[in-house]
Structure 1
Amino acid sequence: MDEINSSLKTNYAVRNFAGDVYSMFFKNSGDTNTFGSLIGNAPPIWHDIAGAFCADGSIKPMHLQEDKDIDPSNGLVFQSYMPDLYVYVDDQMTDNLGRPSNHRVHAGDWKDFSNIPGTESVDGNAYMRCDAKNRGSGGNPWNVKLPVPFIGDGLGNQPSLVFHCDDPIEEFGVNLTQ
């Protein structure tokens, strides 16, 4: 960015555009990034996949609880509010029960994904602990909190524990569980 701004060969409109892109997507604001970019402050994106492959070639959902935000609520994949959810089994698009399909399973929900936790969005935000039965797609399996000093997680937060959103009691020390 500094190289672009300092070069006399760079057109001023290009410098302005590059500055805007940098501010929107890559800017960090000090140690806390409270006023940094949306991407720097974005909540985690996750998928919780639980399925059993059967001898007859079918697949069956195996989540321990239902997800109030997914239809059907006992699907193969539970997910965060973003992005859109597409499910593929053996390179074929399916619905969330593993049956052939030609469309997405679930549309992303930018409003709830970008909500800040508070009285109007207690369950409808992507921060803190997930619980598919009670919060649906809300929260996350690392219990990452809002990146705000003193009340949330700081920059570079590297959670050491993860849990399944359909079984938020059992914790694991690795990110890939079986």
Structure 2
Amino acid sequence: MSGILNMAAAYVGRRWRFLVLLCLVAGGLQYAIDLSDRQGRADLPLGYAVRMTCEEDPESYLWSGGCDRLKDDIARTDKPSFLELYRAFVTAHHWHIPTRATSRRFADVPCQPGYKIKEALKGTRFILEPERFEGVCTPAHARAIQDELDERARALLTIERAGLTWPALMAGALANLTEPLVLFAAAAVLLALWLL
């Protein structure tokens, strides 16, 4: 018995880096999959909410403006591909709106005199997310953020069409694993193990 324990201890002593890496990879994969499952379950009602917002209703004129841009996406019934699902999860969960690129592009643009974002959003579905337009004072800036919100809405519709399926679960997990911060942390861990 002691001989077996000694052999095991010697093996661990020689292969500890690999064993640590294996444990980290297994834990990371499990976390990414669990997170993807929670994200997908939360996305289903959000995708349905996009559809409901754009449905015909006696009072829909108060918030349905801009739904014409999502008409084709709402009408789709096909199952999305894995690549479509991956891009959808990236857009829905790893994309801040407004994006940094949009914020930088309009940071030094002078305001248009008399332009009021609250008035511009009236009657559109974007009025449901006024916090996204904080500080916006030109039509071009507002349109850029609206385009980004359209992309997120399309992503949610894509995830909703897939439902709680394995391809959606794996696509979401891959999106979580390829987050730049995760890749940076993985590179740091590999470097640390190599240096030790």
* TM-score bracket for this pair, using the shorter chain length: under 0.3
Choose between structure 1 and 2: higher strand proportion: 1
Q: Which has the larger radius of gyration?
A: 2
Higher relative contact order (CA 8 A, sep 6+): 2
